[in-house]
């Protein structure tokens, strides 16, 4: 019996993919938390990955049931909900998935939608932090959702790479990296201000950092690939030129449309970013004229990143102010909230070359067949609860 | 460098024991994603232990101990809310195509093992699936070797009854 059991159960193992992603995650974790540094780790000890599925999952079955019964009317009201609100799980689990499934067709568009969701989760954390009512449950929920979307993004980047669509992979990866880095920064600034929520915010910032480091590593790997393919480098540089040009224009348009809401200090910071992006762009053009296509592509990518980062910062600022304004309108006690821009920073943080890693999970995609999946889950649920009862009555019989 | 040494220790332990730990967790929680989370968390806790300047002489035993505690902690939490049981039983957003359901015999055996009550179940899993010696199990669980042997015996008896019936 002994041998049979062992042989039988030897079939249970992680896939190579699962094994290597977990390993890379461990490596990154070890690098981020080196052995000699004892202060940094303390607060992360308290809040573990396990909470991902213990806290956020609680409301899921109820929400599913409600949505099925009401046919989706609930979900309209859910779109602006924040973690802690009753409708928040509807927004995250139903609305966003369905939107992802219905509206997006190309792989790249789907991946970029996931990037947007990652950023949205972090903006939510910032909004909750600004309101000052962040707590462990709220934070764990945001964190779980953040991790889920980030897993999705990383998975999609891998898929794009597997399909040899390296440009799309690099583009999605750059957006992802920018978003997590900028928001990590904002979260840390909130953490500095709010002693009560410091640990919670820093934990989330740490999670964002791990993703940023991983994305940085992918960026370098992809850049090397482009370096190797010198034949294709000129057309590539030209495409990056157009992308950078567009992004700088987007930034200028955004600044222009929000002029009234931007204070002098923020405006100065944004103007300097626009100038820096344009200067870098001009360097790219010079390199391209000098037939140094690789250098040009690099410059255009830098210009794109500068403009994109400034856009993310500006959008975050606008979101935070809007949330703050609606709070103070409905709740006059709340008008002591600090409204100064939290993330002003004159220069863009240069992206560091750190060895990082990716943590991936096989989860259903945003566009997974929801109803079929639900039926299967219900079947499994029935089966498992029956077994649960059987086990219990069996135990009871033995006790008697 | 201390950091590099410890990191190497952790990663080689991962290569050696990750599959076995995963198997252990899987048989106990019957959910691939959660089993993976448990394994990952066990290694992270071990690393955090290293960071505190401590060392584990027997890293394999240390990992099993951590994993076992994590699973026990979680199952205690689970009992607090029946909704969580509902979720954990069927509403997990994780697809599980490579589960034991794919293999009828394995499925049956997994269920039979689930029918063994604790502490006998853990003893059986550690002895026959993880292939640990009674002495090692005793170290991990903090029990005497004799107690462990008794538990294994009773667990196997129960398993036979279930599989034979």
Averaged pLDDT in 10-residue chunks for chain B of 165 residues = 85 91 86 85 88 82 89 69 42 38 63 81 82 83 82 78 65
pTM above threshold 0.90: no
- How far apart CA B38 and CA A396 sit, in angstroms, is 30
Chain B's closest residue to A380, CA to CA, is B90
CB contact residues (below 8 A), chain A span 355-394, against chain B: 359, 361-364, 368, 373, 377-382, 384-385, 387-388, 391, 394
- How far apart CA B120 and CA B111 sit, in angstroms, is 14
Per residue in A4-25, pLDDT (tens digit) is 566 667 777 788 878 888 888 7
Residue A149: pLDDT band (50, 70, 90) is confident
- How far apart CA B125 and CA B121 sit, in angstroms, is 6
- How far apart CA A339 and CA B80 sit, in angstroms, is 41
Q: How far is CA B132 from the centre of its chain?
A: 12
Q: Is some CB atom of chain A closer than 8 A to the CB atom of B53?
A: yes
Q: Please indicate whether, in this complex, the C-beta atoms of B89 and A363 are within 8 angstroms of each other.
A: no
How many residues are present in chain A? 400
Burial class of residue A253 in the structure, from the number of CB atoms within 10 Å of its CB (0-12 exposed, 13-18 middle, 19+ buried): exposed
Chain B's closest residue to A24, CA to CA, is B11
Burial class of residue A360 in the structure, from the number of CB atoms within 10 Å of its CB (0-12 exposed, 13-18 middle, 19+ buried): buried
CB contact residues (below 8 A), chain A span 12-41, against chain B: 12-15, 18-19, 22-23, 25-27, 29-31, 33-38, 41
The answer to whether the beta carbons of residues A277 and A251 sit under 8 Å apart is yes
ipTM score over 0.85, yes or no? no
- How far apart CA B72 and CA A359 sit, in angstroms, is 25
Burial class of residue A386 in the structure, from the number of CB atoms within 10 Å of its CB (0-12 exposed, 13-18 middle, 19+ buried): exposed
Query: What confidence score (pLDDT) does residue A275 get?
Result: 92
- Classify B45 as helix, strand or coil: helix
Which tokens hold the place of A386?
A: 């029956």
Which of A13, A61, A395 is nearest residue B87 as measured by Cβ atoms?
A61
Average pLDDT over residues A326-338: 40
Q: Please indicate whether, in this complex, the C-beta atoms of A34 and B51 are within 8 angstroms of each other.
A: yes
Q: Please indicate whether, in this complex, the C-beta atoms of A8 and B109 are within 8 angstroms of each other.
A: yes
CB contact residues (below 8 A), chain A span 42-61, against chain B: 44-45, 48-50, 52-54, 57-58, 60-61
- Statement: residue A361 has pLDDT above 60: no
Chain B's closest residue to A145, CA to CA, is B93
Residue A397: count of CB within 10 angstroms of its CB = 8
């Amino acid at each position: 019996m002994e041998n049979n059991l062992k042989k039988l159960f030897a079939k249970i193992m992680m896939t190579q993919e699962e094994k290597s992603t977990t390993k890379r995650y461990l490596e990154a974790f070890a690098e981020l938390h080196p052995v000699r540094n004892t202060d940094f780790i303390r607060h992360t000890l308290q809040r573990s990955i396990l909470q991902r599925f213990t806290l956020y999952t609680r409301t899921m079955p109820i929400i599913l049931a409600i949505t099925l019964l009401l046919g989706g009317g609930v979900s309209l009201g859910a779109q602006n909900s924040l973690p802690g609100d009753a409708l928040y799980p509807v927004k995250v689990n139903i609305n966003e998935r369905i939107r992802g499934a219905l509206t997006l067709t190309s792989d790249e568009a789907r991946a970029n939608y996931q990037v947007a969701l990652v950023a949205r989760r972090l903006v939510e954390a910032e909004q909750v932090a600004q309101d000052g009512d962040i707590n462990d449950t709220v934070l764990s929920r945001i964190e779980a959702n953040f991790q889920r979307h980030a897993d999705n993004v990383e998975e999609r980047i891998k898929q794009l790479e597997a399909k040899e669509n390296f440009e799309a992979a690099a583009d999605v990866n750059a957006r992802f990296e920018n978003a997590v880095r900028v928001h990590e920064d904002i979260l840390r600034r909130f953490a500095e201000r709010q002693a009560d929520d410091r640990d919670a915010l820093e934990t989330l910032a740490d999670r964002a950092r791990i993703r940023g480091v991983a994305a940085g590593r992918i960026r370098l790997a992809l850049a090397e690939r482009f370096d190797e393919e010198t034949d294709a480098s000129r057309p590539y540089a030209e495409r990056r030129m157009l992308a950078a040009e567009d992004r700088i224009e987007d930034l200028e348009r955004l600044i222009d449309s929000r002029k009234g809401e931007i204070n002098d200090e923020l405006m100065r910071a944004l103007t300097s970013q626009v100038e820096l992006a344009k200067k870098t762009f001009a360097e790219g053009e010079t390199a391209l004229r000098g037939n140094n296509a690789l250098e040009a592509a690099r410059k255009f990518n830098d210009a794109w990143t500068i403009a994109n980062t400034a856009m993310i910062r500006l959008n975050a600022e606008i979101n935070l102010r809007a949330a703050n304004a609606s709070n103070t309108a409905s709740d006059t006690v709340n008008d002591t909230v600090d409204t100064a821009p939290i993330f002003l920073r004159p220069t863009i943080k240069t992206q560091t070359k750190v060895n990082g890693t990716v943590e991936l999970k096989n989860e259903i995609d945003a566009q997974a067949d929801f109803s079929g999946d639900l039926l299967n889950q219900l079947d499994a649920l029935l089966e498992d609860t029956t077994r649960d009862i059987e086990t219990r009555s069996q135990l009871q019989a033995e006790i008697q | 460098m201390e950091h590099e040494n410890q990191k190497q220790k952790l990663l080689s332990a991962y290569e050696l024991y990750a599959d076995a730990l995963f198997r252990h967790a899987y048989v106990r929680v019957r959910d691939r994603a959660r089993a993976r989370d448990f394994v990952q968390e066990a290694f992270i806790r071990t690393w955090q232990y290293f960071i505190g300047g401590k060392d584990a002489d027997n890293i394999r035993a240390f990992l099993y101990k951590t994993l076992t505690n994590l699973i026990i902690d979680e199952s205690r939490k689970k009992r607090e809310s029946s909704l969580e049981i509902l979720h954990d039983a069927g509403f997990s957003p994780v697809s599980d195509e490579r589960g034991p359901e794919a293999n009828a015999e394995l499925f049956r055996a997994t269920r039979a093992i689930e029918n063994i009550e604790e502490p006998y179940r853990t003893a059986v899993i550690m002895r026959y699936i993880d292939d640990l010696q009674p002495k090692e199990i005793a170290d991990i669980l903090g029990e005497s070797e004799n107690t462990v042997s008794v538990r294994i015996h009773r667990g196997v008896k129960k398993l036979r009854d279930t599989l034979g019936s």
